[in-house]
Structure formats: structure tokens, C-alpha cells
Amino acid sequence: MKASNFIYIYEDSLEELLYTIYYLIQNRWKPIDIVSERNFVPNLVDESFKVKSNLLNIYEIWKERVGSPVLQTVKTVFLSSHPKKELILYYFLLHALKNPKTIYQHRDLKCVNEVLKIEKYVHRETHKMKGFLRFKEMKNGFLYAKMEPENCILFSLAYHFVRRMPNESFVIHDVKRNIYAFYTEKKLNFVEESQIKKLDLIFSDEELEMEKLWKTFFDTIAIQERENKNCQRNFMPKKYWKYLIEMGP
């Protein structure tokens, strides 16, 4: 069996990916690809294999071997939407094992360059959403916000708003992945739609009135002859306009 000529499948979690990469490196196997179960599409050419995890302390193992900064980078890249992130992380960790203290200096390695680009992209989008996310007041007192980020940044974003609004109750909805960050009574949970439906989220009358007033204000101060959509897109990419009150129809 030529174990290198396989697509390796892992369950949809960072722990399982870290174990799969650890297993491959330990056996000196070079995969064709590494794909999550959710995204795996069988083909007639490549064989697939799923690694069964049996290590409970995989985080500690990697932390000891490559250090906390490298492991934090891996966590960030895992949140990205890059289609080949798993294979890139495999090569990144393979080289990090050899040079744990100097891995970031090896810009001549393609995997290091790719990892740093992806990490920067995830951090940049997270930073933008901290400013672009708009909360709306519900009748039950909750604050509710929608977003459709390219990367899975809901987790880090939710913790940011917990620090910013510790005394509020709020829900952040990642529409693209249909997951929710639910914060109330000083507790943060990540839940599915069925649990959120019980909250009966309906806009408050004050929220609807404020939205109307804000839209009127925005339209009133705008100078139609000087409208420049291209300039607006330079400062705020159009993909963020969808949930902004002032940019709506």
C-alpha cells in the first residue's frame, strides 16, 4: 500500500485535523490532499482514507513541539475559507517541526508564505467586521446582527463583543454558515438555528423608527451630484453593504 497516494479525510474540527497531520508526519506519508468530511467529494482516480483519532492531548503535543505562536497561527488559518488550507498546514507544520523557533523567517518556503497571507487575511476581515457589524434592537431586549464573512470569524468576533458589551444580551448570526453566537447572563454559546427560534426575535418599534430616521438623515446630507460608488467601494467593499442600513434600498 502506497499510503502517500491517498486523500486523507478528517472530521470537521481542528483537533481532528491536527491529529491527522500528526499521524501523517509520524508515518512519513505525503498526502495528495487533506479534506474535511463535509467537503470531501469522491472521485474515480484517488483513494481516500480516514484517520481515526486516539489522542486526547493533541494540542499539548503540538504546543510542546512547535510552540504556542505556531499553534495560534494554525488555529487562525483553520478558520479561513481557503480550499487547500489543510494541505498548506500539513507542510507548514512539517517544516515547523524542523525549525520551530525560526519557521516564520523561512519566506522562501511556499507553505510559510501561504500561511502568513491567509493569517493576515483572516485577521483583516475580523478587524473590518468589528466596525461594520450593525446590531439591531429586538422587542425582547436582545441585540441582533447579521453578517456573511468569507472566513469563519464568528468565534473571535463574538469574544470581542463580549468584552465590549459585557452587560448586554446579543445574537450574532453568520448567515453563510448558519451558526449563531448567543450571549446572555454572562455566558457565550455557539448554537444552531433551532435554539435561536425560541427567542422570537422581532425588531422593536424604537429600532424601526431609528432606522427610518437614520436613512432619512443619510439621504438628506448626501449630495447626489457628487455620489461616487467607486470611492465608497474603496473605503468599504461592497460585500459589506448588505446589512448596512444606509446602503440599503
- 101 and 172 part of one domain: no
Supply the pLDDT for residue 1.
Answer: 47
Measuring CA to CA, which residue among 173, 164, 163, 166 is closest to residue 136? 173
Burial zone of 170 (CB within 10 Å; 0-12 exposed, 13-18 middle, 19+ buried)? buried
Q: Please check whether residue 38 lies inside any domain of the structure.
A: yes
**H-assigned helices in the chain:** 14-26, 58-66, 68-78, 85-98, 110-132, 154-164, 193-197, 205-221, 229-235
| Residue that wins the pLDDT comparison between 234 and 105 | 105
| Residues 98-118 pLDDT 10s | 999 999 999 999 999 999 999
Can you tell me the mean pLDDT for 158-181? 95
Supply the pLDDT for residue 20.
Answer: 95
| Residue that wins the pLDDT comparison between 220 and 197 | 220
The pair phi, psi for residue 83, each rounded to 5°, is: -65, -20
Supply the pLDDT for residue 249.
Answer: 60
- 160 and 237 part of one domain: yes
Can you tell me the mean pLDDT for 207-226? 87
Q: Please check whether residue 241 lies inside any domain of the structure.
A: yes
- CA max distance for the chain: 71
Can you tell me the mean pLDDT for 5-19? 92
Classify each residue of 41-68 as buried b or exposed e, where b means 16 or more C-beta atoms within 10 Å of its C-beta: eeeeeeeeeebebeeeebeeebeeebee
- 144 and 93 part of one domain: no
Least confident of 35-44, 141-150, 162-171, 205-214: 35-44
Measuring CA to CA, which residue among 167, 157, 159, 166 is closest to residue 130? 157
- Residue 236: pLDDT band with limits 50, 70, 90: confident
| Residue that wins the pLDDT comparison between 150 and 219 | 150
- 39 and 114 part of one domain: yes
Q: Please check whether residue 216 lies inside any domain of the structure.
A: yes
Q: Please check whether residue 1 lies inside any domain of the structure.
A: no
Mean pLDDT of the residues in the chain: 90
Question: Number of C-alpha atoms within 13 angstroms, CB side, residue 158?
Answer: 24
| Residues 118-127 pLDDT 10s | 999 999 999 9
Number of domains within the chain: 2
Last residue of a domain, one of 98, 124, 150: 124
Is the pLDDT reported for residue 6 higher than 50? Answer: yes
**Which residue segment(s) compose the domain that 156 sits in?**
133-247
Last residue of a domain, one of 73, 94, 124: 124
- Residue 155: pLDDT band with limits 50, 70, 90: very high
Last residue of a domain, one of 92, 107, 124: 124
Can you tell me the mean pLDDT for 173-184? 94
Q: Please check whether residue 72 lies inside any domain of the structure.
A: yes
- Residue 58: pLDDT band with limits 50, 70, 90: very high
Measuring CA to CA, which residue among 161, 160, 183 is closest to residue 171? 183
- 84 and 188 part of one domain: no
The amino acid at residue 7 is I
- 157 and 230 part of one domain: yes
Least confident of 13-22, 158-167, 211-220: 211-220
- 213 and 236 part of one domain: yes
Any residues with CB less than 8 A from the CB of 20 and at least 6 apart, and which? 8, 10, 34, 51, 53
